[in-house]
Amino acid sequence: MVAVVQRVSSASVTVEGEVVGRIGRGLLVLLGVETGDGEADAAWLARRIAGLRVFRDPAAGGDRRAPERSVRGTGGACLAVSQFTLLGNCRKGRRPSFTRAARGPEAEALYDRFCELLRAEGAPVETGRFGAMMEVALVNDGPCTLIVTSPMAIARRTGGG
């Protein structure tokens, strides 16, 4: 599993003119589920994202280099959006290959499980709509954008597991 995590002041997802998920301050998580991903990947990623210390501690004053709080510690929330295109391979030609992306039912089940596990880690979670054409709006705070990949997925790609 791979996630692009953005610290946001606000974010929302709209499907066919209807807002289906919206958060204020928190994390926008764009999630790609790869063939071979499983429960361990989802659990690791949920723990890691819920615990990321990317929010400033008010006690640190104006020091922007001192992020000390996680989304759990700020009262923030997560907006999780499934995005198989994160797994696009652009090494050959001009058309990305998505052969690493998990197929629909498998990917949806792990996306849903990731959201459950993130909630279990203490983070309120809003979601997009799996498989739908979505419009994602966000106000990036910082900007602060991180790419987080489960170690099991890295090991599978490199032949280490």
For residue 106, the surrounding DSSP H or E stretch is helix 104-120
Q: Which two tokens stand for residue 79?
A: 């907006």
Q: How far is CA 77 from the centre of its chain?
A: 12
67 Cβ partners below 8 Å, 6+ apart?
A: 53, 54, 55, 56, 57
Active site residue 98: no
Spatial distance between the Cα atoms of 96 and 63, rounded to a whole number of angstroms: 41
**Active-site annotation holder among 14, 83, 127, 149:** 83
Spatial distance between the Cα atoms of 56 and 46, rounded to a whole number of angstroms: 21
**Active-site annotation holder among 6, 14, 55, 84:** 84
Query: For the CA atoms of the chain, what is the radius of gyration?
Result: 16
Active site residue 84: yes
Active site residue 55: no
- Looking up tokens 């459950």 gives 116
Residues catalogued as catalytic: 83-85
